Structure 1
């Protein structure tokens, strides 16, 4: 500030006073010009689309003039739609048997130690795994890996359960010891 003008900025700018009265706002006045002479990116006044662009709410068009369908609706000529676009979808998926088989098969291995509970759980895993593999072969399911894991883990659980049962039976017969 210059000593002679206490309210004047030395560069000719007026200080911003938030308590000063503001001019009334006219809602019908045109929008103010962009600062520094810049134009909006479309080169058009505010709210108007650029030439060749559809207004808001209109479906976009491809360069060849064919209108494109909004997302999720069938497009012409069998083009893929938005959900899972381009990925094949199995019809009538029934993946629960493979999942149940895998869960039972994994659970059968530690359950062998619990009063031989792993044997019936492993048998159930093998049966459901076999049924799941049949559904995969028929094309009704797509989780062949889970079915195979259930078959293998169930068979391991049954095998360990039978092995542990045999070891307990053999161990119950004690050899005579000499005094």
Structure 2
């Protein structure tokens, strides 16, 4: 079952209450929410690239997301944007639940209108380069967390939580699940 498609994502605070010690956590410090969805989750897919986004474009616009989250390790660079409104719209069209960028985005006002979770460390109107595609589906590390393809990520206003497996909260402790039953 793909949690991001079936039920709203559980809050990261609730996940920590039930799974602390079993998950990795990155605080929101350094990341801002830019998408129209603030709470999102899904299986992890990754791209490692620095100031070049060909693989980000390819994955979001040509590959079925299946409710996954693309984690982009841009090395924390703030010199250019790795995601813009056209790529974000492609992500929505292809079924991605969200994008977490360890770098910058652009077109933030347009991205805020899309039904997509987007976290990034900032904005920059400058386009990225296209010369070096980077690497896909490799473990990436930032914010004190290792993001491994196939593992699960949960994100909201409080932070980012990573688990080796999909997590399910007991129904009584998952307000998001209870709200969907009304």
Asked if Structure 1 and Structure 2 have the same fold, meaning a TM-score greater than 0.5 normalized by the shorter chain, the answer is no
TM (norm. structure 1) is: 0.20
TM (norm. structure 2) is: 0.20
Higher helix share: 1
With CA pairs under 8 Å and 6+ residues apart, which has the higher RCO, 1 or 2? 2
Q: Which has the larger radius of gyration?
A: 1
